[in-house]
Amino acid sequence: MSIKENIKILSNLSAVSGHEKSAAKFLCSKLAKIMGQAYIDNLGNVIACKKARASQGSVMLEAHIDEIGLMVKKVDDNGFLEIVAVGGIDPRILPGNTVVIHAKDKEYKGVIGANPPHMMTADEYEQVVGFDKLFVDAGFDGDFAKENIPLGSIITFDSEFYELKGEQISTKCMDDRASVAVLLDVAQRLSKIDLEFDLYVCICVQEEVGLRGSTVAAYSVNPDFAIAIDVTHAKTPDESKPEFKCGGGIAVCKGPNVHSTLVNSFINHLNSLEIPYETEIEGGNTGTDAWAIQIAREGIPVLLLSLPLKYMHTPVETLSLKDCETLSNSLESYLKSFKRTEEVLCC
Amino acid sequence: MELLKKLTQKSAVSGSEENIYEIIKSELDGCDVSINADNLSNIIVHKKGGGKKLMFSAHTDEIGIMANYIDDNGFVRFATVGGVDVYSSLYQRVVFQNGTVGTVCFENKTDIKKDLKIQNMYIDIGANSKEDALKLVKPGDTAAFEGDFCLRENTVVSKALDNRVGVYILINAIKALKASPFDLYFVFSSQEEIGLRGARTAAYNIEPDVAIAVDVTSSGDTPNCETLDIKLGLGAAIKIMDKSVICDKTVRDALENCAKENNIPYQFEILTFGGTDAGAMQTVKSGALTGAVSLPIRYVHTPCETANINDIKACINLISKFCAKDFIF
Amino acid sequence: MLLKKLTELNGVSGNENAVSNFILSEISKYADEITKDTLGNLIFYKKGKNPSGKTVGVFAHMDEVGLIATSITDDGYIKFSQVGGLDDRILLTQRVSVGDNAIKGIIGIKAVHLQTKDERKRVVKTEDMYIDIGAENKEEALKFVQKGDYISFDSGFVSLYGSRIKAKALDDRVGCAIMMDLIKNTYDEDIYFCFTVQEETGLRGASVLSRRLNPDISFVLESTTASDTAFSPKHLYSTSLGGGPVLTNMDRGAYSDKKLNEFVLGIAKENNIKYQYKLSANGGNDARALQTGASGSRVCSISLPCRYIHSPVCVADMEDFDSMKALIHNVLCKINTFSATEVK
């Protein structure tokens, strides 16, 4: 299956932080078939392993499964749903969006209401509507909503898979479902290859609320080194600060969060194959699972690779399939380029 | 309620939790459990059993202040220990460990509507000079806010219900303990108010399979307050989410089923601010299935924290029934 | 002088090699066992004559705050971001040393004549600053500098009036210097002398060390803010130069073990060593990670008061430094006798 098809399937799964179970089950059975072993841990992380015949170490590939979303915090007497964010969401993008309410056994569509401008004073018109004033309207009456929409019900964006020009795609939760799709692809491509180290693929939960899943997954796996895959901001007309362009290649992080020997080894590999990349400099917290993995146990060398992404944490996260292919190619070839993990860490 | 009164009126600001231990120890005298302490002054009560490790944590510490400078005229400057709100501490009385009482005041020229902060506040202990003051209070001494224990019908008002009521609930649950399919740990944890510290290190040693925090939560039933669908008197609160944790669904469901089966009143809690020991326990080592049982209170972190006695009973009941039942995790 | 040598080495968080190589070359001969871990922490184990069986660690961090090159402009200037916490206001017109080849550069700003009235009032943010290494253009700059190169202040160790000194990176080469001296002694207790990395980016070295050692007792040797300066009210001094080494009751990160603090205080009194308490609860250091790491540790910070910390011109008093060293030495002489009464 192509990366594009993987992305399409994965983006349809709902996995708001803390509520990843059904998506995890789906991935667990898929990865078990590809890699041989897979299980779901106490927090809900999927930990899959392709065992080597005589293991010369272990490598962990990681991406997070969870997405940002909303949660019902109160059902009012008229059936409107008051909401709270799960993960970082800009409330300004919410009004006018269509959403899916995941109730007990059934899903309902709704919209995020906004009072019409006619009803506002000039002052109000200029103000940002915060979470305390936002609500979801699914057309429910009070009794029905109270009966059928339990507190804590999850709400996701109802987002369509859009194909734009230039092999760009746009949908919800490309952060970090696109990386998961890439890891599936890599696992598939390596499935027939005899590696001399154990290869772990960890699909982690609760990244968006504080890197919680990767904290425990890295503890359990305790690899010789880890490669975390996430997204990074790409250039848009209103923000020129990012140096990365969708379709321009992957970003390789440098800074205190990553292991410099590992970074150099990977960059040399990219250069030798003339694979396009940019370095991304982060002087401290990268805000990714790499930050948690690095200080698991007694310290784990980590590499952080990112896909440039536009409009992060919105229903229209946009990235380039070309970059996904590049990432998959580079990971596959890199993992085939050494036999023992020592070769990478000791040069 | 005598025990709850005794617990709340004892002062145990974060870092000085040892003041509570005598009470816990004497209350558990005769219970078939082992009691130990660790480097962070957690008290760990263990009831050995054959099954999975089930850990409860209720923190013993309360918010307060720490003296850090005494000026030439005997006024005490201070730092806050835990989430102390400057406005609600104004003109409150604080009691140092040796019994010295002081009043929290502010520099008279401060515009308190705009500029009230700890740096321009002080504690008046009635001393006339630095020398005089140092006989009563040294830098580093901590003090708790004063707040009498009062009962009104089913309502209890006191300081430090956060989280002496959790301690009270666990003590009573331990006393009511019958046969359990679990290997049970009850941790009276330290330093929750300054960063969930005790529970983290206790969980590191215990490595629980299932971890449940017992703490208070804010209610949303007072005039024009933050939207929280929690009311006093509607029963024990089963946590769904706060800033520190998203609770595991199987634990949440197990708690809910346990409440239903035993006709224990309960409600669900989504707290949009704050955290609890559950957040620390969840991510230790390979991770634990984590949940929390909360007691709804009003006016959290003030000297007049207010709770409902039936809710307290519901929490005790829920936890002791939960320990006795064989849940499949 | 050790402290001079140490402060003049560059070791921005994540790039502590120059400091750690120096430490290895100087004191390896005194240790019974040396470990360098994945993140770069150094652990020197020193056997004691009459150990108590407890695990005792002494910690100082090797890293310092600094900058990192994020991009090179077409004109050959270097854009950068901060590593660790720096005040934007101290950066303009600093001399800096870029990368492992120590390329000289300065942080430039257009002349005051060219600034508008509004500009003069605004604090210039790091993201709007640039380093000038004198390169003609991007191509030439790239011969000397790479994206991701670490950048340190170029600021030497200078003696000021009396026993006062000025240097960069006193936070925390002070602790490193003291440990490098003390490891020459043999104490009754087994001691782990630990030189940590990445304190300034979030206590990351100490976090992983706590799991390797799981210490019962941790002493953190640090520098701490002194604001005994002009225009500062006395109750906000926090600490004062000349007042001796600093004991901490509580800061934003850690709560010192009361028994351990009392023990140290007793040693100070017994030996007539000047000391002071930190009069604020701000700041934090490796003690935080150690206190709550693994099974938890009793922690105690002993710090040198230091003005203008996290700047190229930290000012400290060498008499405080000597008292701090004496205090820690005497504490280590007796630490095998420390016992905290346990709750039974």
Instruction: Name subunits touching C (3+ CB pairs < 8 A).
Output: A, B
All CATH 2.40.30.40 domain ranges of chain B, comma separated, are: 64-145
Mean pLDDT score, C166-193: 97
Instruction: Name the residue among B117, B218, B172 with its Cα closest to residue B7.
Output: B172
Q: Give yes or no: residues A149 and A184 share one domain.
A: no
For residue B50, the tally of other CB atoms under 10 A from its CB is: 8
Structure tokens at A206: 């609760």
Q: What was the pLDDT predicted at A260?
A: 94
| ipTM computed for the complex | 0.90
Q: Give the CA distances from residue A188 to residues A175, A326, B63, B194, B314, in Å, rounded to whole numbers and listed in that order.
A: 21, 16, 54, 47, 52
Is residue A128 predicted with pLDDT exceeding 80? yes
Residue of A nearest to B246 (CA): A18
CB-neighbour burial class of residue A126 (10 A; exposed 0-12, middle 13-18, buried 19+): exposed
Q: Read out DSSP for B151-205?
A: EETTEEEETTHHHHHHHHHHHHHHHT----SSEEEEEEES--TTTSHHHHHHHHH
A99, A124, A157 — which closes off a domain? A157
Structure tokens at A80: 């409107």
Q: Would you say B188 and B199 are in contact if contact means Cβ atoms under 8 Å apart?
A: no
> Do residue A43 and residue B268 have CB atoms under 8 angstroms apart?
no
Distance CA A214, CA A293 (A): 6
- Report if residue A167 sits inside a domain: no
Instruction: Name subunits touching A (3+ CB pairs < 8 A).
Output: B, C
Q: What was the pLDDT predicted at C111?
A: 84
Strand-pair category, A162-163 with A107-112: unpaired
Whether omega before A285 lies within 30 degrees of 0, making that bond cis, reads no
What is the longest distance spanned by two Cα atoms in chain B?
A: 65
Question: Is the Cβ of B246 closer than 8 Å to some Cβ of chain C?
Answer: no
Q: Give yes or no: residues A62 and A203 share one domain.
A: yes
CB-neighbour burial class of residue A210 (10 A; exposed 0-12, middle 13-18, buried 19+): middle
What residues of C are in contact with residue A283 (Cβ under 8 Å)? 67-68, 70, 81-83, 201
Q: Which residues, at least 6 apart from A334, have a Cβ–Cβ distance to it below 8 Å?
A: A266, A269
Q: What was the pLDDT predicted at A117?
A: 65
pLDDT band with cut points at 50, 70 and 90 for residue C344: very low
- Report if residue A162 sits inside a domain: no
CB-neighbour burial class of residue C301 (10 A; exposed 0-12, middle 13-18, buried 19+): buried
Residue C199 is among the residues annotated as catalytic for this protein: yes
Mutating which of A254, A261, A285 best tests the C interface, going by the most C Cβ atoms within 10 A?
A254
pLDDT band with cut points at 50, 70 and 90 for residue A239: confident
Q: Give yes or no: residues A206 and A117 share one domain.
A: no
Domain with A79, as residue range(s), is 69-157
What is the longest distance spanned by two Cα atoms in chain A?
A: 72
Structure tokens at A68: 């940002």
Residue B295 Cα, gap to closest chain C Cα (Å): 27
What residues of B are in contact with residue C343 (Cβ under 8 Å)? 18, 21, 25, 35-37, 41, 43
Mean pLDDT score, C40-51: 97
What residues of A are in contact with residue B287 (Cβ under 8 Å)? 41-43, 45, 215-216, 219-220
Q: List pLDDT tens digits, range B193-211.
A: 999 999 999 999 999 999 9
What residues of B are in contact with residue A85 (Cβ under 8 Å)? none
Q: Would you say A27 and A169 are in contact if contact means Cβ atoms under 8 Å apart?
A: no
Q: List pLDDT tens digits, range B295-315.
A: 999 999 999 999 999 999 999
pLDDT band with cut points at 50, 70 and 90 for residue C343: very low
Question: Is the Cβ of B239 closer than 8 Å to some Cβ of chain C?
Answer: no
Q: Give yes or no: residues A269 and A294 share one domain.
A: yes
Q: Give yes or no: residues A17 and A120 share one domain.
A: no
- Report if residue A193 sits inside a domain: yes
Q: What was the pLDDT predicted at A102?
A: 96
Mean pLDDT of chain A: 94
Question: Is the Cβ of B221 closer than 8 Å to some Cβ of chain A?
Answer: no
What residues of A are in contact with residue B241 (Cβ under 8 Å)? 18, 71, 84, 86, 152
> Do residue B200 and residue C292 have CB atoms under 8 angstroms apart?
yes
Q: Would you say A214 and A203 are in contact if contact means Cβ atoms under 8 Å apart?
A: no
Question: Is the Cβ of A325 closer than 8 Å to some Cβ of chain C?
Answer: no
Q: Give yes or no: residues A263 and A323 share one domain.
A: yes
Mean pLDDT score, C140-151: 96
- Report if residue A275 sits inside a domain: yes
Give the CATH number of domain B64-145.
2.40.30.40
Q: What was the pLDDT predicted at C185?
A: 97
Distance CA C279, CA B77 (A): 9
Question: Is the Cβ of C147 closer than 8 Å to some Cβ of chain A?
Answer: yes
More confident residue, A128 or A228: A228
Distance CA B244, CA B276 (A): 6
Instruction: Name the residue among C176, C86, C78 with its Cα closest to residue C131.
Output: C78
Size of interface A-C (CB pairs under 8 A): 66
> Do residue B39 and residue C250 have CB atoms under 8 angstroms apart?
no
Mean pLDDT score, B127-148: 96
Mean pLDDT score, B2-20: 95
> Do residue B240 and residue A43 have CB atoms under 8 angstroms apart?
no
Q: What was the pLDDT predicted at C117?
A: 87
Structure tokens at A209: 């609320």
For residue B130, the tally of other CB atoms under 10 A from its CB is: 13
Residue A54 Cα, gap to closest chain C Cα (Å): 24
Domains of chain C, by residue range, sit at 2-64+168-337, 66-153
Please report, rounded to a whole number, the percentage of residues in chain C having pLDDT higher than 90.
89
Mutating which of C211, C235, C257 best tests the B interface, going by the most B Cβ atoms within 10 A?
C235
Q: What was the pLDDT predicted at C36?
A: 97
Task: For residue A109, give the CATH number of its domain.
Answer: 2.40.30.40
Question: Is the Cβ of B316 closer than 8 Å to some Cβ of chain A?
Answer: no
What residues of A are in contact with residue C83 (Cβ under 8 Å)? 255-256, 283-284
Mean pLDDT score, B147-157: 96
Backbone phi and psi for residue B221, each to the nearest 5 degrees, phi listed first: -115, 25
User: Which of B192, B193, B269, B305 is an active site residue?
Assistant: B192
Backbone phi and psi for residue C302, each to the nearest 5 degrees, phi listed first: -125, 120
Residue C271 Cα, gap to closest chain A Cα (Å): 38
pLDDT band with cut points at 50, 70 and 90 for residue B29: very high
Q: What was the pLDDT predicted at A120?
A: 72
Size of interface A-B (CB pairs under 8 A): 63
Instruction: Name subunits touching B (3+ CB pairs < 8 A).
Output: A, C
Mutating which of C204, C207, C209, C213 best tests the A interface, going by the most A Cβ atoms within 10 A?
C204
Q: Which CATH class is domain C66-153?
A: mainly beta
Q: Is the dihedral of CA B238, B243, B246, B247 positive or negative?
A: negative
For residue B279, the tally of other CB atoms under 10 A from its CB is: 23
Mean pLDDT score, B35-62: 95
B contact residues 41-80, partner A, Cβ 8 Å cutoff: none
Distance CA C15, CA B25 (A): 50
Domain count, chain A: 2
> Do residue A300 and residue C67 have CB atoms under 8 angstroms apart?
no
Q: What was the pLDDT predicted at C160?
A: 95
Mean pLDDT of chain C: 95
All CATH 3.40.630.10 domain ranges of chain B, comma separated, are: 2-62+159-324
pLDDT band with cut points at 50, 70 and 90 for residue B325: confident
pLDDT band with cut points at 50, 70 and 90 for residue C342: low
Is residue A93 predicted with pLDDT exceeding 50? yes
Residue A232 Cα, gap to closest chain C Cα (Å): 15
Mean pLDDT score, C50-66: 96
A123, A157, A191 — which closes off a domain? A157
Question: Phi/psi class of residue C18: alpha, beta or left (left: φ > 0; alpha: ψ in -120 to 50)?
Answer: alpha
Q: What was the pLDDT predicted at C176?
A: 98
pLDDT band with cut points at 50, 70 and 90 for residue A241: confident
Closest residue to A285, CB basis, from C127, C147, C202: C202
Question: Is the Cβ of C65 closer than 8 Å to some Cβ of chain A?
Answer: no
Ranges A154-163, B131-140, C2-11, C111-120: which has the least confidence: C111-120
Q: Give yes or no: residues A126 and A254 share one domain.
A: no
Residue of B nearest to A153 (CA): B240
User: Which of C16, C64, C199, C200 is an active site residue?
Assistant: C199
pLDDT band with cut points at 50, 70 and 90 for residue A116: low
Q: Which CATH class is domain B2-62+159-324?
A: alpha beta
- Report if residue A165 sits inside a domain: no
Q: Give yes or no: residues A233 and A317 share one domain.
A: yes
For residue B120, the tally of other CB atoms under 10 A from its CB is: 18
Residue B135 Cα, gap to closest chain C Cα (Å): 17
Question: Is the Cβ of A300 closer than 8 Å to some Cβ of chain C?
Answer: yes
Q: Would you say A99 and A156 are in contact if contact means Cβ atoms under 8 Å apart?
A: yes
A100, A129, A157 — which closes off a domain? A157
> Do residue A300 and residue C38 have CB atoms under 8 angstroms apart?
yes
Q: Identify residues of A whose CB sits under 8 angstroms from chain B CBs.
A: 17-19, 21, 41-43, 45, 71, 73-74, 82, 84, 86, 132, 150-152, 206, 209, 212, 215-216, 219-220
> Do residue C14 and residue A285 have CB atoms under 8 angstroms apart?
no
pLDDT band with cut points at 50, 70 and 90 for residue A347: low
Q: Give yes or no: residues A206 and A316 share one domain.
A: yes
Mean pLDDT score, A223-249: 92
Distance CA C228, CA C239 (A): 7
Is residue B226 predicted with pLDDT exceeding 90? no
Is residue B252 predicted with pLDDT exceeding 50? yes
CA geometry: angle at C134 spanning C129 and C137, to 5°? 85
Closest residue to C298, CB basis, from B39, B139, B205: B39
> Do residue A297 and residue C208 have CB atoms under 8 angstroms apart?
yes
Question: Phi/psi class of residue A313: alpha, beta or left (left: φ > 0; alpha: ψ in -120 to 50)?
Answer: left
- Report if residue A145 sits inside a domain: yes
Task: For residue A272, give the CATH number of its domain.
Answer: 3.40.630.10
Mutating which of A239, A295, A341 best tests the C interface, going by the most C Cβ atoms within 10 A?
A295
Whether omega before A176 lies within 30 degrees of 0, making that bond cis, reads yes
Residue C149 Cα, gap to closest chain A Cα (Å): 9
Give the CATH number of domain C2-64+168-337.
3.40.630.10
Length of chain A: 347
> Do residue C68 and residue A243 have CB atoms under 8 angstroms apart?
no
